[in-house]
Every structure is written in C-alpha cells, then in structure tokens.
Structure 1
Amino acid sequence: MTQRPRVSVVIPVWNGKESLPELRARLAKALDASTAAYELLFVDDGSVDGSFALIETLARDHGTVRGISLLRNYGQHAALLAGVRHARYEIVVTMDDDLQHRPEDVPALIQALDDDDVDLVYGVSKNDEHGLFRNVASRITKASMASAVGQDMARAATAFRAFRRELRAAFEGASDPFVSLDVLLSWATTRIAVRETAMAPRKHGRSGYTFRALVRHALNMLTGYSLVPLRLVTTMGFGLALFGVIVLAFVLIRYFVSGSTIPGFPFLASIVALFAGAQLFALGVLGEYLGRMHFRSMQRPAYAIRKVVGDRREGEAPDAADR
C-alpha cells in the first residue's frame, strides 16, 4: 500500500473470555506496525461467562478497544453484521475470538486487497484443526453458499476476511434474522481473492459450530438466498412424471405383447408411496420458503444491541458518516 491504512477489526465473542486479553495484545502488536490507525470491535453475542465485563475493562484500559453487547445470542453472522455496521475505518477485518486465526496474519490479508486489486480477501488454511464431522459439515456449508451466491469462489469463504468498508452499502437495509455475511458481501462484489494462512490449535473452550449448527446454517443459506431447492423440486417432479410415463408404457407393452400383467396391489402401492413422498418433500420445501417469507413480514431484526462501550458515549449509535 502507498500509505498505511486505517483498519477496523470485528471479532464476534461467545464465551471467549479466556482468549480475549492475548488476542487484544497480539492484534495490537501486529497492527501498531502496519496501520495508521485501528480499532478492535468485540461484539459479545450473549455470552454467559462474563466476556462483556472483560471487554468493558479492556475498553477502559485501551483506547483502541470498543465493545458491543447484544441482547441475546443471535449467531455469529448477526454479531458480525452488528460489528461491521459500527466499523469506522476504511478496511474491515473479521476473525474468530479463539486465537485459531493468527493475529500476525492480519497485515498480509490487508496488503492483499491492494496487491490483488480486489475488494474482499479470505484467509484460507490448508491445515485443518477440526474433526471429521465438522469438516464435512463445513464443506456442505460452503457448497450451499456457492449455490446461493452463484460463485464458485464462495467455496473458499472463511470467517477470516478483509474487505473494503464501502461494500456495506450493498446491504444497508438487510434485517433478515437468517443472515449470512458472506452472501451479503457477494451482493457487493465479485472481486475476491484468497490468501493462505495458518490455523492455530484452539487454546480455550470449544467451538459453538457443531455439525448440526453448520448443517442448519447451510439450509438457511439455501432457502434464504437461493432458488436451488425450488429448482431441485421442479427437476424431481419432471423426473418422476417421466418415470411414471415409462412405467405405464412398460405395463401396456407387456400386456399387449405377452398378455401378462403386473400384480396390482403391490405395484400400485409402491407407485403411490413414491409419488406421495415426492409431493410431501415438495410441500416441505415450499413450506420452508413460505415460513421465511412469514418471518420477514414480521420484520424481526437480525440483532438488537444492549450496550456499546469504547470511545463513543455508551449506547450511542453510529452516525450517518460512519455507516
């Protein structure tokens, strides 16, 4: 970069109290030498271990620390959205609170924005620190995201990102309770790059992303941002109709050629069960879309903020210039 950037680092926190002091110290060391100014925005997503009390202490002791406390646990992506909307500086970095994303890799992600002339950079690790089921679920989630956004690059998406703040303009009014930050970012740009980073072993606690949670997130993306399930149902319906025509032709040909028939009840029962199952599946998919339309019509917010601490007055919302 021709001049050192100003950077906002957004970190969603969920029961991450033990890792926060080290995370802040390592980020400060990495960013002091590589940025003109920076802020660390810790977004507490309904922690029950006293994380926000520690964030308040860090904000009092360090002028670069700001904190946001959400009213309850809304999920990682909702917490990220809250932090991104409060970010003041032109480059925004997101990372986890568990020290698996190395703070020392943040300057390289920021530099890649200019080196590759892109708007969004993902830090991708080749070494996996998760179990088999978590990795499988992660791949399902990324495949779902690629289908939702129509970009194969989405398969490289991770929680370790650096992007230009102006991308926020594409999702200013987004308030869907089933939010995905990566999908929102894909609305703003297709200029995306990846950088290889290291994944450190987890030091404290355990991940809130279980196999079940990741699969649920994948389904949220497919039904919330994609027409793939509806197209799948359409294709399935066409395939079953074609299958029915073929079976009918087979029965008629067999009857006219050899005079034999297929035993009635077992054959009829199997065909009815097949088509009834397909219809119920199709109704389930349509019901999922209708349910999401219902939730959106209720205008449920993606998140609600209890408190903001840091260099603003406590509870103050970002002004128009900071959006």
Structure 2
Amino acid sequence: MDISVVVPLYNEAESLTELTAWIKRVMEAHHFSYEIVMVDDGSTDGSWRVIEELKRGNPYITAIKFRRNYGKSAALNVGFAAAQGNVVITMDADLQDSPDEIPGLYSKIVDEGFDLVSGWKKLRHDPPSKTIPTKLFNSVTRGMSGIHNLHDFNCGLKAYKKEVVKSIEVYGEMHRYIPVIAKWAGFKRIGEQVVQHYPRKYGKTKFGPGRFVKGFLDLLSIFFVGKFGKRPMHFFGTMGVTSFLAGFIIAVWLIVEKLTSIAHGTPYRNITEQPLFFFALIAIVIGTQLFLTGFVAELVSRNSTERNDYQIERVI
C-alpha cells in the first residue's frame, strides 16, 4: 500500500464527508493505493455515525473510536499503530489542511529520501491569539531541538516513512514535537514543505491557551528523556558533583581563612556568622541529593525492560 492517511478528529461531523471525498479524488487522480485511518477521539456530536455511514460507501476507510476524549497525541499514536502504508500522511479533520498537498509530500518521502516532512502554513488563517504564541513556541523548539530548518512544528499536515511512525511513541501533548521525537529516535532527514492553509469552514477550534503550558512541559520531557533517558547519572550526577564541589571548596576556603587568622593573631569572624558558610552548606546538601537522585535513576534505568531497546536501521 502506498499511503495511509491518518485523521485524528474530535467533534468534526460536518466536515468528514467533504474531507473523505476530497482525499478519494486526490488518490484516484494520482493512482495511489491508500487507506484512510480515522480516529474518533471521543466525539459527542455524532461524528462516529457519520464515519460509519462513510465506511459503508468507502472500503478504504478504517475507523477507531475512543470511549472518551484522550487528546490528539493519543489519537495519532493509535492511528500510527494501525497504519499499513509505506508513507503515512497526517492531517486534521477540519478542512484547514488540503489533501491536494498529499502528492507533493509523498514525493519528498519517496523520491527525495526524507524520513519526515512537516508542512509549513506560511500564510495562516488564524487569529493573532493563536499565531503569536505559536511563533514563540516554534522558536523555542528550534533552539532546544537543534532542528533549525522547520518553521512550524505543530502543523497537522505531515508525511512520514512507515519506519518512523512504527518507531516512536506519542502521548501527552507531544504531537506538537513529533519531529523532535523522530530526531531523538535517529531519523535525521527531516524536511519542510510550504502548504496551503484554509480558514475553518465548520465547527470551532479546539485550541486553548492551557495547551501551551502542557506543550512546554512536554518539550522539556522530550529533551530530557531523549538526551539522558538511558544515562540519567550524566545529568543528575554532573550537576550534583558540581554543586557539591562548589560548596566543599567554599567551606575549605572559610576554614583555611579562619586558621590563617588564628595563626597570625588577627581578628576573625566565626564561620557560622558568614553568609558564604550557609551557601556552601546548601550547595553540599543539594549536590548530595542530586547525585543520589542520579544513582537511583541509573538503577531504575538499568532494570528497565527497555534499557537495551535501540532503533536499528539495517542488518546485513
């Protein structure tokens, strides 16, 4: 099978008929073998009834329904598991992503050899309350991830090699950072394509300001797990030893200063009367705690069933 189109959705009953018909036209025009994997994330507006009706008329539709709303990341993760195509395309169900972009995205994966291609909605039809924070988060993500060639990490329209979606796990609000997850999994050929963005035609946006807080926390989680997940002592141990040594050096310096003053008979203050003493004490305590945290995390990591779960590209 050439293409799997994964469509996560929540309360998008009005747009589903038009979307699936549009996808079908594009696929037939380019002679792609395909499937549409629709994941209903606990919709309450009758979306599932629409999907059941569409499936009766289109055998290429596969549908999965959650009992309740888990979020877009969960829907994508389940959709990725179900996808069978050699190239997996994701798009939102609100008709703001154009199926006409599918051939171009497919070509960049198959013909140009990219592992992942993210859409860039260069001209967006969203209010400033959504576009300005998005630009800020994209800038932060580029800096932290080192993926400097992407302008829009959160664009729902993306294309993946099958190997990518079968090698990553998406949860929380991490759908925003799939290119980062893919990079940490070893897929380095990540590209971008400018795509058309349409105004919302039906329903209302599911976007909320609280998602930025969750998204930023998930970015920190991705950064830590991806970089130190299999060697936590390198993170906690380095900070712990640095803090402990700083406190220890200051404490030794204070003691030597006092002994020198006694030897020369000059006035001196008690060590406990100096603010540096308490700074040194706190640094030593924090350093010890961080080191022990790293030690415990290392034990947990070494006993994990996934401690030697690595992504292997080829075997010859």
TM-score (norm 1): 0.68
Asked if the contact 1:6–1:35 (Cα under 8 Å) also holds between the matched residues in 2, the reply is no
2:159 aligned residue: 162
Aligned partner of residue 72 in structure 1, secondary structure: coil
1:212 aligned residue: 213
Which of 226, 235, 240 matches 1:237?
Answer: 240
Asked if the contact 1:170–1:188 (Cα under 8 Å) also holds between the matched residues in 2, the reply is no
Number of equivalences: 286
CA RMSD of aligned residues (A): 4.2
1:227 aligned residue: 228
Deviation of residue 233 (structure 1)?
2.5
Letter of the 1:69 counterpart = K
Deviation of residue 196 (structure 1)?
2.4
Deviation of residue 10 (structure 1)?
0.4
2:4 aligned residue: 8
Closer, same or farther: CA 219–64 of 1 in aligned 2, 3 Å = same
Distance 1:288 1:178 in 2: 24
Distance 1:88 1:207 in 2: 30
Asked if the contact 1:254–1:261 (Cα under 8 Å) also holds between the matched residues in 2, the reply is no
Deviation of residue 68 (structure 1)?
1.0
Letter of the 1:236 counterpart = M
Asked if the contact 2:8–2:76 (Cα under 8 Å) also holds between the matched residues in 1, the reply is yes
Identity %: 25
Note if 1:197 corresponds to 2:195. Answer: yes
Deviation of residue 124 (structure 1)?
2.8
Aligned partner of residue 27 in structure 1, secondary structure: helix
Instruction: Give unmatched runs, 5+ long, in structure 2.
Output: 306-316
Distance 2:149 2:97 in 1: 20
For residues 222-263 of structure 1, give each alpha carbon's deviation from its aligned partner in whole angstroms, at most 9, with x where no partner exists. 454440775332332233133224423542464436653376
Which protein, 1 or 2, shows the higher relative CO under an 8 Å CA cutoff with sep ≥ 6?
A: 1
Note if 1:50 corresponds to 2:46. Answer: yes
Aligned partner of residue 241 in structure 2, secondary structure: helix
Aligned 1:1-323 pairs, distance under 5 A: 6-127=2-123, 129=126, 130-140=130-140, 146=145, 157-158=153-154, 159-167=156-164, 170=167, 182=179, 183=181, 187=185, 189-203=187-201, 204-207=204-207, 210-227=211-228, 231-248=234-251, 250-252=253-255, 254-255=257-258, 256=260, 259-261=267-269, 264-265=272-273, 267=275, 268-276=277-285
Distance 1:152 1:282 in 2: 33
Closer, same or farther: CA 73–141 of 1 in aligned 2, 3 Å = farther
Asked if the contact 1:141–1:217 (Cα under 8 Å) also holds between the matched residues in 2, the reply is no
Closer, same or farther: CA 78–154 of 1 in aligned 2, 3 Å = farther
Deviation of residue 111 (structure 1)?
1.4
Instruction: Give unmatched runs, 5+ long, in structure 1.
Output: 298-323
Asked if the contact 2:116–2:191 (Cα under 8 Å) also holds between the matched residues in 1, the reply is yes
Closer, same or farther: CA 292–210 of 1 in aligned 2, 3 Å = farther
| Greater Rg over alpha carbons, structure | 2
For residues 121-156 of structure 1, give each alpha carbon's deviation from its aligned partner in whole angstroms, at most 9, with x where no partner exists. 222334464344444445555666x38xxx777887
Closer, same or farther: CA 221–49 of 1 in aligned 2, 3 Å = farther
**Segment of structure 1 superposing worse, 252-261 or 284-293:** 284-293
Asked if the contact 1:251–1:261 (Cα under 8 Å) also holds between the matched residues in 2, the reply is no
Closer, same or farther: CA 103–213 of 1 in aligned 2, 3 Å = farther
Letter of the 1:261 counterpart = R
